[in-house]
């Protein structure tokens, strides 16, 4: 018999996105919820492929991920003693239902051609939630709304903020578009114009475009002319997070403690 190596899910190379995907895909089958033993089993079945199994610390960090982070992020209902079991919220269920089913057009910087990608809905939503947390730290005197969770009504913006009070508030409103793109991908011309139009019709004063990919040279020039704040790439996002003593995106997707 092969001896299984005891690990945490991060030691096994799994990220928050990987674990959520595995567990949520099982949770959605059981509207009344699944217990913690089922959750351990889901991850252990994945780990056993590489002769690994959750350690005691691994089980503790997995419990913390579901009990704390998945609940705070709105994907899982808080544990209820009167209705035991971990259950997906409507947002969590929609993420799984949409996963692998949404196509997105992008502009490939290297080939200079438009391409179609299957959007990673879960990873994109996690990126939006991470950026929302960072921006709340950067701009605390604003009321923030996560428009991006309503994809049919986002109209080019994922986050919208409005000033509350006068203290340290420079702009009346902030609008943010967030793109989970490959390093070689930029928005298509149509998507870029949709973003600009969404800012214009809402009279947004401070506009931000944040992407894990790139902008085309024309888009970067237009952003500069329009005084749009651009953050390109994970490295730049992490650098800015460190300036504000906020967890990096790399730390966020491995979050377990």
What's the number of domains the chain is made of? 2
From 80, 96, 112, give the residue that closes a domain. 96
d(CA 119, CA 102): 6
Confidence (pLDDT) at 149: 67
Tell me if 55 is assigned to some domain.
yes
Confidence (pLDDT) at 169: 66
Cβ atoms within 10 Å, residue 239: 12
Q: State phi, psi for 76 to the nearest 5 degrees.
A: -130, 140
d(CA 206, CA 172): 8
Confidence (pLDDT) at 254: 79
Residue 122 and residue 25 share a domain: no
Of 50-54, 145-149, 245-249, the range with the lowest mean pLDDT is: 145-149
Residue 113 and residue 227 share a domain: yes
Residue 119 and residue 92 share a domain: no
Per-residue pLDDT tens over the stretch 2-19: 789 999 999 999 999 999
For residue 20, pLDDT over 90 is answered with yes
Residue 241 and residue 118 share a domain: yes
Residue 246 and residue 119 share a domain: yes
CATH code where residue 158 lies: 3.40.1350.10
pTM of the model: 0.89
Domain that holds residue 166: 104-252
Tell me if 257 is assigned to some domain.
no
pLDDT band at 73 (very low <50, low <70, confident <90, very high): very high
DSSP 65: I
CATH code where residue 72 lies: 1.10.10
Residue 231 and residue 130 share a domain: yes
The per-residue pLDDT of the chain, averaged, comes to: 91
From 64, 96, 128, give the residue that closes a domain. 96
């Amino acid at each position: 018999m092969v001896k299984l190596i005891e690990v945490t899910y991060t030691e096994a190379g799994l990220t928050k996105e990987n674990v959520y995907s595995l567990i949520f895909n099982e949770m959605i089958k059981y509207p009344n919820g699944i217990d913690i033993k089922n959750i351990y089993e889901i991850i252990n079945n994945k780990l056993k492929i590489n002769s690994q199994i959750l350690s005691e610390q691994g089980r503790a960090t997995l419990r913390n991920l579901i009990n704390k982070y998945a609940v705070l992020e709105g994907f899982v209902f808080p544990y209820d003693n009167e209705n035991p079991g971990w259950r997906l919220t409507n947002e969590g269920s929609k993420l799984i239902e949409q996963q692998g089913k949404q196509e997105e057009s992008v502009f490939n910087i290297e080939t200079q051609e438009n391409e179609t990608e299957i959007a990673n809905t879960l990873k994109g939503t996690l990126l939006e939630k991470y950026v929302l947390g960072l921006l709340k730290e950067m701009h605390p005197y604003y009321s923030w709304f996560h428009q991006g969770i309503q994809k049919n009504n986002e109209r080019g913006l994922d986050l919208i903020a409005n000033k509350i009070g006068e203290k340290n508030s420079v702009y009346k409103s902030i609008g943010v578009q967030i793109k989970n793109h490959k390093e070689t991908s930029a928005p298509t011309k149509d998507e870029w114009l949709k973003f600009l139009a969404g800012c214009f019709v809402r009279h947004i004063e401070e506009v931000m475009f944040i992407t894990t990919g790139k902008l085309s040279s024309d888009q970067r020039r237009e952003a500069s002319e329009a005084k749009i704040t651009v953050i390109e790439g994970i490295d730049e996002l992490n650098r800015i997070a460190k300036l504000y003593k906020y967890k990096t995106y790399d730390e966020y997707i491995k979050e377990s403690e």
